Amino acid sequence: MGLEAGLPIAGQPVEVVFIGSCTNSRISDLRLAASVLKGNRAADGVRLMIVPGSQQVKRQAEREGLHDIFRAAGAEWRESGCSMCIAMNGDQLSPGQYAISTSNRNFEGRQGKGGRTFLASPLTAAASAISGVVTDPRTIPGVSELVTVGGGY
């Protein structure tokens, strides 16, 4: 995918950030993403999609005001669905585009023919949206205390 063995993934530019899928879009995932995005904005030129794992998750997130944090960060707050996990609902990468995605599959062409996918946690995806490159979320102020060893994220 245009990378070389041994190349650090951190710092690789991404154009699309997808926080969604049944794998990593439960309410706890969205709370983590919101904790990183609060008071921040997605980098210029980055498309940030946040797709709740279910309608129940969507309603709960809205009760907690997470959607306002996401929208203020420049994210698209979407209906629940498969979305870019499987390049559905019109959400897909263009050839050559790099994405960071909280889904769990990065098979060739999975998120759009010719697109390339880094798989990551909601924290890492959210942090990468802010910087526009793959970013360790512990470098975002206030986030490191959220990251615990074996914390179940």
Partner 1 sequence: MAEPFRSFVSKVVPLPAENVDTDQIVPARYLKVTDKEGLADALFRDWRFGEDGSRKNPAFVLDRPGMAGRRILLVGDNFGTGSSREHAPWALRAWGIEAILSTSFADIFRSNALKNGVLPIAVDPATHAALFELVARDPDAELRLDLAEQGVLLPDGSTIDFEVDPFAKMMLLAGTDEIGYVLAREAEIAAWEAAHPPRVDTRLGTPLAAG
Single residue of 5, 107, 141, 145 touching partner 1 by CB under 8 A: 107
Closest CA to 64 of 29, 91, 94, 112: 29
Binding residues with partner 1: total (CB under 8 A): 9
CA–centroid distance for 12 within its chain:
15
Measured CA to CA, the distance from residue 103 to residue 5 in angstroms comes to 23
Q: In this structure, are residues 118 and 30 in contact, taking their beta carbons and an 8 Å threshold? A: no
Phi, psi of 5 (to 5 degrees): -60, 135
Nearer to partner 1, 78 or 110 (CB): 110
CB-wise, 74 or 109, nearer to partner 1? Answer: 109
Residue from 109, 133, 146, 147 binding partner 1 (CB under 8 A): 109
Closer by beta carbon to partner 1, 23 or else 60: 23
CA-CA distance, 55 to 72, in Å (whole number)? 21
Q: Shortest distance, CB of residue 107 to partner 1, whole angstroms?
A: 4
108 binds partner 1 (CB under 8 A): yes
Residue matched to tokens 């074996």: 150
**Going residue by residue from 58 to 87, which x/- string records binding to partner 1, judged by CB under 8 A?**
----------------------------xx
Of the candidate residues 79, 105, 139, 144, the single one contacting partner 1 (CB under 8 A): 105
Is 113 a binding residue for partner 1 by CB under 8 A? The answer is yes
H or E element: which one contains 7? none
Backbone angles phi, psi at 77, to 5 degrees: -100, 115
What does the block give as tokens for 97?
Answer: 């585009």
| Minimum distance of partner 1 from residue 14's CB (angstroms) | 20
Task: Catalog residues that contact partner 1 under the rule CB under 8 A.
Answer: 86-88, 105, 107-110, 113
